[in-house]
Amino acid sequence: MKILSGTSNPKLSKDICKQLKLKLVNTNIKRFADGEIYVEINENIRGNSVFVIQSTSNPANDNLMELLLVIDALRRSSAKNITAVIPYFGYARQDRKVVPRTSISAKVVANLITNAGAGRVVTVDLHAGQIQGFFDMPVDNLFTTPLFAKYIKKNFKNKNLICVSPDVGGVQRTRGLATKIKADLAIIDKRRPKPGQSQVMNIIGNVKGKTCIIVDDIIDSGGTIVNAASALKKNGATDVYVFITHAVLSKDASEKIKKSKVKKLIITDTIDNSKKIKNNNKIQVLSISSLMAEAIKRISNSTSVSDLFN
């Protein structure tokens, strides 16, 4: 088994290798002056099972192209098995046609990864579970719910908790966390006048006097979470904590969170946000390196990955 890191999140790759007591594959990945990506593998990987760790976060297209070229280089170097470990799977929000004459980008990306030569995909909290069906190969979708539940049990003792879904689509994820921490469930009825904007209409459930735990897979511009936190506070919530797997944090999202009613935003390191959140004490990062390392080890040993979440 060998681990190869792309350039999107080298710290997470190093942390995973530390857990597995392995060294990263020696590679040379660079950009030419016109933006073209060059990939060179500087050691023999013939007959090895190789795990490529690369999030397709911002810049999404560059990081995706880099992943494809790394997979191709490994295939041409006679790697036995190639597993694409994609902590944050970009384009996952475009998983169906919501209006006529639009592309289903998640399917296009799945085709690209398949045709490049990957034999398996490992990812974390896919935006839509059905994306697994876009691949004609095994897909392991890891969940951060146990990680969040462990944090809440340790840090939120003796608090009257309620888990809040930021929209109807996230109810299943929120219910999963609520079950683990034995809390009630509330739902925010949200409308989107246009992409990137949200408007809170109603709150389904009683949040008065309770500590609200909002859980979601992605925070992008931050508008949804900021509006949700304000609405919950207006309805009598004591505090609002937010747990997010993938912190895209585009534009001024970090500053929005800093000025919002959110008490604390807890994110994971599927995306490297070290520069964006440097001066924001409202944001805390939980590492998923141990979860991903254990999943990689189990795949390599041909043992059950689903047992991680039982």
Catalytic (active-site) positions: 190
Q: CA 89 to CA 160: how far, in whole Å? A: 34
3-state secondary structure the chain: CEEEECCCCHHHHHHHHHHHCCCECCEEEEECCCCCEEEEECCCCCCCEEEEECCCCCCHHHHHHHHHHHHHHHHHCCCCEEEEEECCCCCCCCCCCCCCCCCCHHHHHHHHHHHHCCCEEEEECCCCHHHHHHCCCCEEEECCHHHHHHHHHHHCCCCCEEEEECCHHHHHHHHHHHHHHCCEEEEEEEECCCCCCCEEEEEECCCCCCEEEEEEEEECCCHHHHHHHHHHHHCCCCEEEEEEEEECCCCCHHHHHHHCCCCEEEEECCCCCCCCCCCCCCEEEECCHHHHHHHHHHHHCCCCCHHHHC
Nearest residue to 61 (alpha-carbon basis) of 25, 41, 36: 36
